[in-house]
Amino acid sequence: MDETKNSPLRWAYFQDRFTGRIVHGIVENEIERANGDVVVKFHGGYYVRKDGKQDVTMPYNGIVTILKEMVWSSYSDAVEGIRKQEEVLYEKYCSEINDLTRLLEFPLKHCLNGDINGNAYIDHVAKRAYIAKAKEIFGVTIEDD
């Protein structure tokens, strides 16, 4: 059974996986799952501007649970942590694409484009790896709109 640890009201940073933006969210509690993972439950907050300040015009109204290692106490730590995670993921994706078959299969396993209005989740790291590997292996330049 999961164990919940309530904490006093505090704020922390995480990345909204659908928008890719950093959120300064309100920590509701930490939960230790039966498998040993510790997750942090957030309840609301604000998206953060590139200067690291809360964008009070863009509230984050969701309730979300994030693995503790993907939660940071400062904006600069969040930016650096996300950059490191994305670089590891980029290298992983690039290693998956090593021939024409893998290149053709890759978009079937990863979301490289949203709908025509850009409303769906896009894995931007996967898209970047796909474009780079198409150029590297086959000399094909794919334009990114």
Confidence check: pLDDT of 40 > 70: yes
- The Cα 85–Cα 47 span in angstroms is 20
Residues in the chain: 145
Query: What is the pLDDT, as a whole number, of residue 3?
Result: 44
End-to-end CA distance of the chain: 46
Percent of the chain at pLDDT exceeding 90: 59
**Taking the CA of residue 47 as centre, how many other CA atoms within 13 Å lie in the half-sphere pointing to its CB?**
12
Q: What is the DSSP string of 97-144?
A: --SHHHHHHHHHHS-----TTS-S---HHHHHHHHHHHHHHH------
Across all residues in the chain, what is the average pLDDT? 87
- The Cα 58–Cα 43 span in angstroms is 15
Confidence check: pLDDT of 1 > 80: no
Percent of the chain at pLDDT exceeding 70: 88
pLDDT band (50, 70, 90) for residue 111: confident
Looking at residue 69, what DSSP letter applies? G
Q: What is the mean pLDDT of residues 113-128?
A: 77
User: Does residue 18 contact residue 121 with C-beta atoms inside 8 Å?
Assistant: yes
Question: Who has greater pLDDT, 69 or 121?
Answer: 69
pLDDT band (50, 70, 90) for residue 18: confident
Confidence check: pLDDT of 46 > 50: yes
